[in-house]
Chain A
Amino acid sequence: MGELTRDKLTDSKFIIEVDKNIIKFKGCIDLQNPEPIVTPFFEKIHNNIIRLGMKEIFLDFKELNFLNSSGIKTITKWIMKIPMLPPDKKYKMQLIYTDDITWQRTSLMILTFLAPDSVKAMRG
Chain B
Amino acid sequence: MINSEVDESVGYIRLSFGPKWKYVACVRGFVQNFLSISISDAQKADKISLAVSELVENAVKYNSREKTSLLILIIDDNNILIESQNYAKEENIKIFVEELEKIKSKDPKDAYIEKMKEVIDKSGKASQLGLARIRCETNCELKYEITDNELLKIVAIFH
Contacts and interface: CB of A to CB of B under 8 A. Distances in A.
A72 B116 contact: yes
Given A69-B133, A72-B129, A35 B123 contact: yes
Contact of B127 (A69, A102, A103, A106): A69
Interface in B11-46: 21, 24-25, 28, 42-43, 46
A68 B56 CA distance: 11
B119 interface: yes
Contacts, number: 70
Contacts of A101: 46
Interface in B102-143: 109, 112-113, 116-117, 119-120, 123-127, 129-130, 133, 136-137
Interface string A64-100: 0010111011001100100000000000000000000
Contact of B28 (A66, A77, A113): A66
A114 B119 CA distance: 13
Contacts of B25: 28, 30, 66
A99 to B, nearest CB: 9
Nearest to B132: A69
Nearest to B130: A69
B137 to A, nearest CB: 5
A110 B120 contact: no
Contact of B21 (A32, A66, A76, A107): A32
B67 interface: no
Instruction: For the complex of A and B, list the 3 residue pairs with the smallest distance between their C-beta atoms, beginning with the closest.
Output: A102-B46, A69-B129, A70-B127
Given A69-B130, A70-B129, 14 more contacts: A32-B21, A33-B124, A66-B28, A70-B57, A70-B126, A70-B127, A72-B127, A73-B120, A76-B117, A77-B120, A103-B46, A110-B112, A113-B109, A114-B116
Interface of A: 28, 30, 32-33, 35, 66, 68-70, 72-73, 76-77, 80, 101-103, 106-107, 110, 113-114
Interface of B: 21, 24-25, 28, 42-43, 46-47, 50, 53-54, 57, 61, 109, 112-113, 116-117, 119-120, 123-127, 129-130, 133, 136-137
